[in-house]
A and B are shown apart, each in its own frame.
Chain A
Amino acid sequence: MEIKVLGPGCANCHKMEEMTKRAVTELGIDAKIEKITDIGQIAMHGILATPGLIVNGKIKHSGKPLPSLEKIKEVIKGEF
């Protein structure tokens, strides 16, 4: 499973990364989490508002407000 957190490095982006890591740990699944901070790369992935969350190539979240930890877990489980 491939998870990407996209954001140039704002506070919300860090929070998103932390929550995603926690979600993966709590779910106990094997997933690679990649943080993408390059603006061009972010745009290339089709994210218009940061932070973005992409699971297995599908955009699951973009922008504010951040999803809850439960929501992130749900989204990851849905792709598992």
Chain B
Amino acid sequence: MLKDFAHYLVVSVFGMDPGRLSGALEFFIYDSIKIFLLLSVIIFVVSVIRSYFPPERTKRILSHKREFIGNILAALLGVVTPFCSCSAVPLFIGFVEAGVPLGVTFSFLISSPMVNEVAVVLLWGLFGWKIALIYMGTGLLVAIFAGFIIGKLKLERWVEEYVYKIRSLGGAAGIVKQAFKERLVYARASTAEILRKVWLYVVVAIGIGGFIHGYVPEDFLVRYAGPQNPFGVPVAVALGVPLYSNAAGVIPIVYALMEKGMSMGTVLAFMMAVTALSLPEMIILRKVLKIKLLAVFVGIMTITIIGVGYLFNAIL
């Protein structure tokens, strides 16, 4: 139905002759409508769920949780708890103060920017549900694993001392009870805000699919970054670590790379490196973490993500 509509629009309304350009335009319109419908619906639903998990509740759930179980919970809660890197420091302090174990806190901090509904929907819309599920599953595993290792290493002494001295004024923090209607209002506002932030990236990504498609040879990157090249994954990850972007921002690049023959594992590893690790976030986290802990964090993440890349290049 959507396809027919796109065809009708291009041929009858715009009056274009059927050909390569009109085909590309049809594809572009069809994909845009499809992905924005998906995005709107899923972000709205996730936002409603999200309204039940404000950071205060997540903190309470994770407080004094055992390792491993705590890491799994933290990674899952990272998906639905709203978080932006500008709040990383107060959130970190709040978690530590409430007795959330360090490794569990890390699982949350890793999963939150990397695995979220925007990333999953965009991957689903552009590459199919399998890729979306694989990204989500491995993203969670990376967050659980890296957080677990950091917990096992007992690196609490490498957290800035003042963090442990902060005592909440107490009593102030309460979870506001919301009526269901209020949650819907919140979800609508949240959906609008997220869409406003990501729509341009999404259009660019779809544009790459629709127009650049066919103009650069399909296997352009195969030689350099195909599954046969053992250095493809580490190079992609090394390039991705300092880059800073949210999941939506990196999608156009991911699409272009995949279109031109970069292998799946390498692309997913690149996307994880970009979203989970970034220079600005490191600078923000430096306020609460000593440089050694920051280095361990980046090291563990880099190695884990490279591992994921190799694994998928081998099995996909």
Contact = CB atoms under 8 A, between A and B. Distances in A.
Given A43-B90, A64-B82, A48 B167 contact: no
Contact of A44 (B91, B167, B189, B287): B167
A49 B59 contact: no
Contacts, number: 80
Contacts of A43: 89-90, 93-94, 97, 166, 168
Given A40-B93, A40-B162, A58-B174, A46 B169 contact: yes
Contact of A64 (B169, B173, B193): B193
Contacts of B83: 49
A42 interface: yes
Given A43-B97, A59-B173, A62-B54, 7 more contacts: A43-B93, A48-B95, A49-B82, A60-B176, A63-B55, A64-B82, A65-B192
Interface in B77-126: 82-84, 86-87, 89-91, 93-95, 97
What is the interface residue range for chain B against chain A?
20 to 34
B190 A48 contact: no
20 contacts: A39-B93, A39-B287, A40-B93, A40-B162, A40-B166, A42-B90, A43-B90, A46-B94, A46-B170, A46-B172, A46-B173, A48-B54, A48-B59, A49-B82, A49-B87, A57-B172, A58-B172, A59-B174, A62-B56, A65-B190
Contact of A50 (B86, B162, B170, B173): B86
A44 B190 contact: no
Interface of B: 54-56, 59, 82-84, 86-87, 89-91, 93-95, 97, 162, 166-174, 176, 186, 189-190, 192-193, 287
A47 B82 contact: no
Given A54-B172, A58-B172, A59-B173, A48 B189 contact: no
Interface residues of A, number: 22
Interface of A: 8, 10, 39-40, 42-50, 54, 57-60, 62-65
Nearest to B84: A64
A49 B172 contact: no
B87 A50 contact: yes
A52 to B, nearest CB: 8
